[in-house]
Structure 1
Amino acid sequence: MSLIALAPGVLYFPGAVNSFVVVGRVMDALLVDTGLDDSHARKLLRAVAEAGLTPSGILNTHSHADHHGGNAFILKRFPELKVFAPPLENAVITHPILEPLTLFGARPPRELQSKFLLAPPSPARLAPEPGLCRIGGADIELIEVAGHASLMYAVRVGEVLYAADALFGPDALGKHPLTFCADSRLQKQSAARLEQLPGVRTVLPGHGDPTDDLSGLVAVNLAAYERTTEAVMDAVDGGEASVDELLARVCDALDVTMTNAGAVVLNRAVVSAHLTELLEAGRVGMKVTGNKLIFSAQA
């Protein structure tokens, strides 16, 4: 598979996670997000070489394993490359055990140490602050889009926007109705803010195909995020319950079947994020009863 051009000097490598490639000085290539594993990274490097480009740096938009799992393989081939990431996210990329540890709340059991939650470590440093900057010889604009992760950057080059996981393609939203987020309120705000960017001709989500309809993509995502909030609220309206009990109700309502521990901890985090949003909006209350943390609807 080859790199696909979005604009002169702006390309991407399609996959379960898209890798964004920006050509810098001469034929240098900044690699933005390296995929889940060695397999994706190997194919990405092959496509970059076939295009006559040489990797000049790595930018990870956030610290989820499917966006930096290919770093280690690429660094074995190009050990001189520097890895950049947003604040907090750089710490997780450097110490990946923080991802499953945070989701589980303690040292994670073996089942939560799969490649989907625990990528190989790579030494990440702080990316520049949002705005225009140069990384790996490539001139880009970093845009803060926190919410899906504690902090995340979208990347703009001219008329092309790589939205990372601030926006998902419609197929991805349909496949994963409980779209992951660390902060559902910020997730919605970040998506809405992207729609206000002037002059964007093409937008590439982290998961999905490129489109020239930024407004349409934002609308689909905002509707999906709000649908999750209301599903959590409906679950709370069903009677006071713990997070795990609410998770089961939400999954039943959205026709989600969880078959492994990874899915449970990820979806539990999503429900928790939306509960926090509802708590802050005064729609839900929280109390401790019978040694349980219980949520209930507010009158």
Structure 2
Amino acid sequence: MSASASPSALIPLAPGVFYLAGAVNSFVVGDGRGGALLVDTGLDEAHARRLLRALDAAGLTPTGILNTHSHADHHGGNASILKKFPELKVFAPPLEDAVITHPILEPITLFGARPPRELQTRFLLAPPSPARLAPEPGLCRIGGATVELIEVAGHASMMYAVRVGDVLYAADALFGPEALEKHPLTFCADSRLQKEAAAHLGTLEGVRVTLPGHGEPTDDLAGLVAANLAVYERTTQAVLTAVQVGAATVDELLSRVCAALGVTMTTPGAVVLNRAVVSAHLTELLEAGRVEMTVQDNRLIFGA
């Protein structure tokens, strides 16, 4: 299946279920009465405008917004949509709702302090929008649409995948092949949970088509899960190998891991994002007893 339609057109996945293709996909669920729940609104105003044009062309009016998690590329379009539809309610999982309401929390978390200007870009700092807690996982109604929320924490501190019948929007629990190749250090807040979430989605029965947050829809859920798990485990092994070379700080390990995986970082944003990935896998390895953490010469050191 491919996104061969107009770049500003909704692509049907099932009756009343659509997506808008983009660097980040937006998932759209109709309520059967001309309304639609918008799941993830993209990085910025440009994506939001495309989404609104596509809805208008399909004869749909937004009735609510669900952000699967709080990364800027998934809720950056909220503010623009709310300008036109101020009555819409924004829903998000626990913790994620706080970041969407106060987006400065994302770069603060990555940097560890008030972030410098270079880390306050649209990729790390979306416009704020007032988010509230989404319903707990399970079958529910949001914005008049009936959806099933599935907890898939790991890529973010909390995240929901969304299922409608035999269609699964995996959000960033699963990435398409091109995204996996482009970003060998797939972002995560908790690498162990990231693997568990992907594996859990692979156990779902009756899924006909899966849409990742980044990439094209596929009818091969098992293959997509396997590809993601392989990349996640490759990162864990790369971090472990970097530690085994010799005890080092996180930044020194990051340099080793990037060299091993062919990653070149050229911006501060890339460094803090990839540094967080290495830190997540270090925590997983620490908890498994495969590495140890010490303080030496006023430095936090990880060794085998």
1:131 aligns with 2:133: no
**Aligned partner letter, 1:69:** G
- Residue in structure 1 matched with residue 222 of structure 2 by the alignment: 215
1:241 aligns with 2:248: yes
Q: Is the 8 A contact 2:16 2:32 kept in 1?
A: no
**Aligned partner letter, 1:279:** L
1:166 aligns with 2:185: no
In structure 2, how many angstroms separate the alpha carbons of the residues matched to 1:211 and 1:196?
16
**Aligned pairs, number:** 297
1:35 aligns with 2:35: no
1:266 aligns with 2:273: yes
- Residue in structure 2 matched with residue 156 of structure 1 by the alignment: 163
**Aligned partner letter, 2:190:** D
Match for 1:204 among 203, 211, 214?
211
How do residues 77-226 of structure 1 correspond to structure 2 at under 5 angstroms? Answer: 77-226=84-233
1:75 aligns with 2:82: yes
Shift of 1:291: 0.1
- Residue in structure 2 matched with residue 55 of structure 1 by the alignment: 62
Spell out, residue by residue over 1:236-289, the C-alpha distance to the aligned partner (whole angstroms, 9 max, x if none): 011000000000000000010000100000000000000000001110000000
Shift of 1:47: 0.3
**Aligned partner letter, 1:100:** P
In structure 2, how many angstroms separate the alpha carbons of the residues matched to 1:114 and 1:132?
36
- Residue in structure 2 matched with residue 14 of structure 1 by the alignment: 21
In structure 2, how many angstroms separate the alpha carbons of the residues matched to 1:283 and 1:138?
46
- Residue in structure 1 matched with residue 4 of structure 2 by the alignment: none
User: What secondary structure sits across from 1:120 in the alignment?
Assistant: coil
1:293 aligns with 2:300: yes
User: What secondary structure sits across from 2:292 in the alignment?
Assistant: strand
User: What secondary structure sits across from 1:11 in the alignment?
Assistant: strand
**Aligned partner letter, 2:255:** A
Match for 2:260 among 253, 258, 267?
253
| Cα root mean square deviation, aligned | 0.4
Spell out, residue by residue over 1:160-211, the C-alpha distance to the aligned partner (whole angstroms, 9 max, x if none): 0000000000000000000000000000000000011110000000000000
**Aligned partner letter, 1:137:** G
Shift of 1:151: 0.2
TM-score (norm. length: structure 1): 0.99
User: What secondary structure sits across from 1:12 in the alignment?
Assistant: strand
User: Identity across aligned pairs (percent)?
Assistant: 79
Match for 2:53 among 39, 46, 63?
46
- Residue in structure 2 matched with residue 280 of structure 1 by the alignment: 287
**Aligned partner letter, 2:246:** G
In structure 2, how many angstroms separate the alpha carbons of the residues matched to 1:251 and 1:131?
39
In structure 2, how many angstroms separate the alpha carbons of the residues matched to 1:215 and 1:201?
11
Uncovered stretches (5+) of structure 1, i.e. residues with no partner: none
In structure 2, how many angstroms separate the alpha carbons of the residues matched to 1:11 and 1:237?
47
In structure 2, how many angstroms separate the alpha carbons of the residues matched to 1:49 and 1:134?
22
**Aligned partner letter, 1:24:** D
In structure 2, how many angstroms separate the alpha carbons of the residues matched to 1:75 and 1:203?
28
User: What secondary structure sits across from 1:293 in the alignment?
Assistant: strand
Shift of 1:145: 0.1
Uncovered stretches (5+) of structure 2, i.e. residues with no partner: 1-7
User: What secondary structure sits across from 1:200 in the alignment?
Assistant: coil
Spell out, residue by residue over 1:1-46, the C-alpha distance to the aligned partner (whole angstroms, 9 max, x if none): 2100000000000000000000004010100000000000000000
**Aligned partner letter, 1:97:** I
Runs (4 or more) in structure 1 with deviation over 3 Å come to none
TM-score (norm. length: structure 2): 0.97
